[in-house]
C-alpha cells in the first residue's frame, strides 16, 4: 500500500531545504510534491472560480490519501494563511525518513479532530474464524508529538 508523508510549513521558503535534504537521502524527486497557494488566480471565463477549484482539488487529494475531514480543513487553512505543503510518497523506509526531515525543519502540527473517536458496536467473535491472510491498513498513522503526518492509502 502506498504511504504519503504530509508536512505543513508556515514558512514556504523551507520547502526547498526539505526537498533537497530528502533527495540527499535518496528519495526520488518524482515522489516529492510541493504545494502552495498561487499568488494570483487567472480567470478562464465568466463561470471561472479558480481559487475555489484549487481548494476543491486540494481537499479531494488529501481525502484520497486518507486525511480526515478535520485534517483536510486544517491543511487547507494552513495553505490559505500562506503556508505550503510538502508531500512525499514511497516505501516505508523512505517515507519515515521524509517525516523525520519534515519534522526537523519545523513541520507544523495540526489538530487531530474536533470531536470524540466514533464508538463502534462490539461484535461477538466466539463463533467466527479469524482471517489472518488479509491485512487492511488505511488512513492516518498516528504519531504522537509530530508535525508531519503519515498516511496509508
What does the block give as the cell for 105?
A: 525543519
Residue 25 — pLDDT band, cuts 50, 70, 90? confident
Residue 142 has what pLDDT?
Answer: 44
Residue 137 — pLDDT band, cuts 50, 70, 90? very low
Q: Is residue 126 part of a domain?
A: no
Number of domains in the chain: 1
Residue 96 sits in a domain whose CATH number is: 3.30.70
Contact 147, 106 (CB under 8 A): yes
Q: Is residue 119 part of a domain?
A: no
Read off the pLDDT of each residue in 3-16 and give the average, rounded to a whole number: 92
Q: Is residue 122 part of a domain?
A: no
Hey, is 110 helix, strand or coil?
coil
User: Could you tell me the CA-to-CA distances from 118 to 70, 90, 114, 115, 121 in Å, in that order?
Assistant: 14, 30, 12, 9, 10
Contact 15, 9 (CB under 8 A): yes
Contact 148, 21 (CB under 8 A): no
Q: Is residue 124 part of a domain?
A: no
For residues 50 and 65, which has the higher predicted lDDT (pLDDT)?
65
Q: Is residue 32 part of a domain?
A: yes
Alpha helices by DSSP H, listed for 1-142, are 14-24, 50-64, 69-80, 92-104
Residue 152: closest CA among 61, 72, 67? 67
Q: What is the mean pLDDT of the chain?
A: 78
What does the block give as the cell for 35?
A: 504545494
Which structural domain range is residue 70 located in? 3-113+134-152
pLDDT of 114 higher than 60: no
Q: Is residue 125 part of a domain?
A: no
Helices 14-24 + 92-104 axis angle, to 10? 140
Residue 93 — pLDDT band, cuts 50, 70, 90? confident
Integer Cα distance of 21 and 38 in angstroms: 24
Residue 134 — pLDDT band, cuts 50, 70, 90? very low
User: Could you tell me the CA-to-CA distances from 41 to 38, 45, 86 in Å, in that order?
Assistant: 7, 12, 21
Q: Is residue 18 part of a domain?
A: yes
Q: Does pTM surpass 0.85?
A: no
Amino acid at each position: 500500500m502506498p504511504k504519503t508523508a504530509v508536512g505543513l510549513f508556515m514558512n514556504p521558503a523551507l520547502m526547498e531545504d526539505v526537498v533537497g535534504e530528502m533527495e540527499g537521502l535518496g528519495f526520488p524527486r518524482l515522489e516529492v510534491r510541493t504545494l502552495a497557494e498561487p499568488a494570483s488566480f487567472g480567470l478562464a471565463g465568466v463561470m471561472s472560480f479558480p481559487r475555489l477549484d484549487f481548494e476543491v482539488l486540494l481537499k479531494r487529494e488529501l481525502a484520497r490519501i486518507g486525511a480526515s475531514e478535520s485534517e483536510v480543513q486544517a491543511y487547507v487553512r494552513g495553505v490559505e494563511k500562506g503556508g505550503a505543503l510538502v508531500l512525499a510518497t514511497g516505501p516505508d523506509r523512505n517515507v519515515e525518513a521524509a517525516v523525520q526531515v519534515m519534522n526537523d525543519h519545523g513541520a507544523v502540527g495540526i489538530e487531530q479532530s474536533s470531536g470524540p473517536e466514533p464508538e463502534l458496536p462490539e461484535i461477538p467473535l466466539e463463533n467466527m474464524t479469524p482471517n489472518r491472510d488479509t491485512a487492511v491498513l488505511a488512513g492516518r498513522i498516528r504519531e504522537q508529538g509530530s508535525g508531519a503526518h503519515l498516511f496509508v492509502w
